[in-house]
Amino acid sequence: MLREDYVPVALDVWYEERRQDEAGAFYRALVAQREGLRAGHTTQGFYVARPDGHLLRGWNNRDPDKLARWLREHRKASEPADERTTAPAAATEVDRRFARRLPEGAVVADVFTRITDAEWPARDRGWMDEAMRKATGRDHLWITAEEIAALARREVPATLARRIARFHLVDDTRGEPPMWRQGELAEVALAFEPIADGTAPPALAGHARLATGDGKRRCEAALRGEVAIDENGRLVRFDLVARCAFAGEGEFTPHAPPGTFTLVVAMRLAPPDGQDRVPPQAARDLDEYLRAR
């Protein structure tokens, strides 16, 4: 139904609520029509709208039956509007402060996160607990051209190791995770292993330790991976696993397992399916993400 009857769009509200350009104005005018939306509160949710910006329905509820019912109800409802109100112009100036573009020559890795071992408490939230405890977190890692050139020399740049540790060894299985601050990275080591023979792909190994100042959120990770670069210097394989002894949660990731649990982060090069156009979560602060101090 979404494929044939709608133009489906997925957006991060952090960008859309802030950008001062045509797209941002269109978004804000559209969501402002949602019944019950309170000023200053998140605009996340689902919206069905005509292309002129007239909202047909907006809601923030994950009930799948409600979603299906309202999608069926509105799929034929895109008659031309009586008058155009908020339709954007064809060509617009983009607010560069909120534009995120993959750096020239960089590649994208998919990042998947899952809790594989935990002492979960007794269930108290029904299907929500069931879904959250089995959930896979998703993000993207950007690897710059300079970092790829270093990997080709069998060197792991400190920026890449720190970026992985601070921005990707996070528990994003239940929502937006807090990233690790610069001072919370106690230690990260990631290096190529000595070549055992000529047949195996070059292997990476290392570890990382991170903790908040109060020790309530912490991560000790063992890392291992394989990297391959072709004769043209292109990164053609980047498989990495971090097995983390993790504890704690963030403001937007409540209901973590109590105590220490096993969080596994796994990476691979992203297939060219379009979703790699989504920037890393931590790229909201792009300079910090790339420099990863």
Partner 1 sequence: MQPQLLPLIGAAAFAASLLAQAPIPALSDASFRALHAQVVPQACETWETIPWRVDLLAAVREAEATGRPLFLWTMNGHPLGCT
The nearer residue to partner 1, 194 or 231, going by C-beta atoms, is: 194
CA distance 225 to 59: 42
The nearer residue to partner 1, 149 or 290, going by C-beta atoms, is: 290
Taking the complex as a whole, how short is the minimal distance between the CB of residue 273 and partner 1, in angstroms? 8
The nearer residue to partner 1, 110 or 147, going by C-beta atoms, is: 110
Beta bridge partners of 225: 204, 240
- 3-state SS assignment for residue 64: helix
What are all long-range contacts of 224-228, with beta carbons under 8 Å and residues at least 24 apart?
Answer: 225/267, 226/201, 226/202, 227/151, 227/192, 227/201, 227/202, 228/201, 228/202
CA distances from 289 to 59, 100, 266, 284, 286 (A): 33, 12, 19, 8, 5
Position of tokens 């100042």?
Answer: 213
The nearer residue to partner 1, 29 or 145, going by C-beta atoms, is: 29
The nearer residue to partner 1, 228 or 264, going by C-beta atoms, is: 264
- 3-state SS assignment for residue 264: strand
Which amino acid makes up residue 243?
R
Computed on alpha carbons and rounded to an integer, the radius of gyration of the chain in Å comes to: 22
